[in-house]
Chains A and B, each alone.
Chain A
Amino acid sequence: MSRTVERAIVEPERTVGALKTAEKGPQLYVRAERAAKGLNRTWLLAAAVVVLFVASILLGSYTVTVPDFVTIVTAHLTGGEKIPGASFIVMETKLPRATMGLMIGVAFGLSGALFQTMLRNPLASPDVIGISNGASASAVLAIVVFGASGAAVSVAALFGALTVALLIYLISRGGSLRGAGGRNGNAAGNRLVLAGIGIAAALGALVSFLMTRADIRTAAEALIWLNGSLNPATWERIGVLLLALAVLLPFTAALAKPLRLLELGDDTAAGLGVRVGAVRLGLVLTAVALAAVATAAAGPVSFVAFLAGPIARRVTGKPSLPASALTGAVIVLAADYFAYNLAPLLLDATVLPVGVVTGALGAPFLLWLLATSNRKDA
């Protein structure tokens, strides 16, 4: 009997609920449409990448026509007759530059999005939490103290990034063990960000110190690297980067699904069968490696990792790794097009390193993000 009484009390409530949702019919339709738009907008980003890629090869201070481009590439592949000048500019400068821009954009974009999603903190990108600084400090040390150049600098950068990542991970992990297991995943994330910012500051000081001790020519060389630049784009470097991405992208794809569950909180994820500790470690390693190989290739192109995830989210309406990767590529390609082709027109033929442009973009974006994110959360 008690059951019937409960039903009678509950049922009218349900009916009211149903009516309320019925009123929201059109709104529901809009929402479904919006979800579909998320996917369409990812294709839009992909299209933007293609357009920028093509534009940076064909347009700019040295323009190439489409038929010429096709001739140059087929000639290069088949060993046919080259177009004097144009062949060299396309195959040794424009094409490698655009290809490397695309690849480091993807790597930085993914790395940032992985960190930001895993730690549920938009500040937690490798360029904010000291990983890029680790690469910089190590590379500058190699350039200034050991007189390294070329590939040796890249190796040093890679080593520096991984060392700093390990250090930050150990510091934040030591704290999280003390907490209630996975309950305070957010606290562990915040600790990691704070540890990273501290280390970033210390490494920044080290870089400044090394720069003051270096002779002017070495310092200039180090500075170009520090700004992040696509100038060192060579097919050899692209090959190394391609190899690294061929290993790291499948890892990222495999971790994407458990990452989506980590978003629900560590406890919920564990309840759904995710091995939280192992997945977290895998994510950290993958994200660090992505940032490290990109930094090793082109220097710490600032703010790309930091910007890609949030911009991708604003564009597609939800956090998405593919969209973040594409956004990273868009940022680097667009910034480099500006730095390489447009800036010289404005600044008496000065070619800017791409990192200067992304850095200039990053600061106002950070402020904008801070100003709008709280409002959204409230």
Chain B
Amino acid sequence: MARLSARDLTLQYEQRRVIEGLRTEIPEGKVTMIVGANGCGKSTLLRGLSRLLRPAAGAVTLDGKDIHSRPAKELARTLGLLPQQPTAPDGITVRDLVGRGRYPHQGFFRNWSHGDSSPHDLAVRNALDATATTELADRNVDELSGGQRQRVWIAMALAQETEVLLLDEPTTYLDLAHQVEVLDLVTDLNRRRGTTVAIVLHDLNLAARYADHVIAMKDGAVVAEGTGIDVITEELVRTVFGLESRVVPDPVSGTPLIVPIGRHHYPAPQATETTKPALEIAS
């Protein structure tokens, strides 16, 4: 059974209804990518799943229990979130920022034990280690490059040590190399710790590459979900994005690779023929 699921979920801002009666599940121990066009409600769904937005109807459940019925801190020990553009206060060091991820594990009174054996220090060190930010630990966050900064934020989410981690467009404003680096990092986390990961991602090709499970959305509803190969087809790209494309096997991973067509270029004839059989070989 999936741990995080949405049951007849309706989400709205004031009177503007974005999602109505949505049902979906984030499969346990897998990397799920939520994709869709701008304004399809994918970020809103993530806000709903991560308790930032209280449902107007229906519920989001974690292990069968409504997430809004749980104490906030207790929930934060299981369900982590990295919002789209978190703000770092001026002058904060990397170590301090990552350490704040430990908040849900700390008691009301400040934990003064700062020995190497303290579980908090260990979690922070592991998080710095896993994101290759140990050397940056004493630097100010505002001095870092975009890629380094995103790694630091992910380190903070890692220090939270949750079983489920939700990320809202973690690769925005990063160049391609850093996008790949961030997604590799998240995949490492999933493979090593078994963390259930759900990511809202703009880039379909990267989503297809890194997803164990894809949820495709349009107009606030789920139009397809399943493995990347099952879900990401030329037809789906047409329905969801209104874009003509060729879907070919990714030469590196065998996952679907979307090649957009646009108005100025026309597909070479052989592309259409190879699409289907190649995908079957890959699966």
List CB contacts (< 8 Å) of A244-286 with chain B: 254, 257-258, 260-261, 263-265, 267-268, 270-275
Query: What is the minimal beta-carbon distance from B82 to any residue of chain A, in angstroms?
Result: 7
Interface size on B, residues (CB 8 A): 49
Interface of B with A (CB < 8 Å)?
Answer: 13-14, 47, 50-53, 72-77, 79-83, 85-93, 97, 100-101, 103-104, 106, 108, 110, 132, 135-136, 138-140, 160, 177, 180-181, 184, 252-254
Interface size on A, residues (CB 8 A): 43
| Residues on B with beta carbons closer than 8 Å to the beta carbon of A261 | 100, 103
Q: List 28 A-B contacts (CB under 8 A).
A: A2-B254, A10-B180, A10-B184, A22-B135, A28-B138, A31-B140, A120-B89, A178-B14, A179-B13, A180-B13, A181-B13, A181-B47, A263-B87, A264-B87, A264-B88, A264-B89, A265-B86, A267-B52, A270-B50, A271-B52, A271-B80, A272-B100, A272-B104, A273-B75, A273-B76, A275-B72, A319-B90, A376-B90
Cβ-defined contact, B81 with A268, below 8 A: yes
Q: How long is the Cα–Cα vector from A10 to B88 in the complex, in angstroms?
A: 27
Q: Does more than half of chain A's interface fall in helix, strand or loop, or is it mixed? A: helix
| Residues on B with beta carbons closer than 8 Å to the beta carbon of A183 | 52
Query: What is the minimal beta-carbon distance from B200 to any residue of chain A, in angstroms?
Result: 13
Interface of A with B (CB < 8 Å)?
Answer: 2, 5-6, 10, 13-14, 17-18, 21-22, 28, 31-32, 35, 120, 177-183, 254, 257-258, 260-261, 263-265, 267-268, 270-275, 313, 317-319, 376
Q: How long is the Cα–Cα vector from A267 to B140 in the complex, in angstroms?
A: 22
Q: How long is the Cα–Cα vector from A275 to B73 in the complex, in angstroms?
A: 8
Cβ-defined contact, B89 with A272, below 8 A: no
A10, A268, A273, A319: the one contacting B77 at CB < 8 Å is A273
A14, A17, A257: the one contacting B103 at CB < 8 Å is A257
Q: Given A273-B75, A274-B103, A318-B90, 14 other A-B contacts at CB below 8 A?
A: A5-B252, A14-B132, A21-B136, A32-B138, A120-B87, A180-B13, A263-B87, A263-B89, A264-B86, A264-B89, A265-B83, A267-B83, A267-B86, A376-B90
Cβ-defined contact, B92 with A318, below 8 A: yes
| Residues on B with beta carbons closer than 8 Å to the beta carbon of A267 | 52, 81, 83, 86
| Residues on A with beta carbons closer than 8 Å to the beta carbon of B104 | 272-273
Cβ-defined contact, B52 with A181, below 8 A: yes
Centre residue among A5, A21, A273 by max chain B CB count within 10 A: A273
Cβ-defined contact, A21 with B135, below 8 A: yes
Cβ-defined contact, B86 with A272, below 8 A: no
Cβ-defined contact, B91 with A319, below 8 A: yes
Residue on B with the closest CB to A265?
A: B87
Residue on B with the closest CB to A185?
A: B87
Q: How long is the Cα–Cα vector from A177 to B13 in the complex, in angstroms?
A: 9
| Residues on B with beta carbons closer than 8 Å to the beta carbon of A5 | 252
| Residues on B with beta carbons closer than 8 Å to the beta carbon of A319 | 89-91
Residue on B with the closest CB to A270?
A: B52
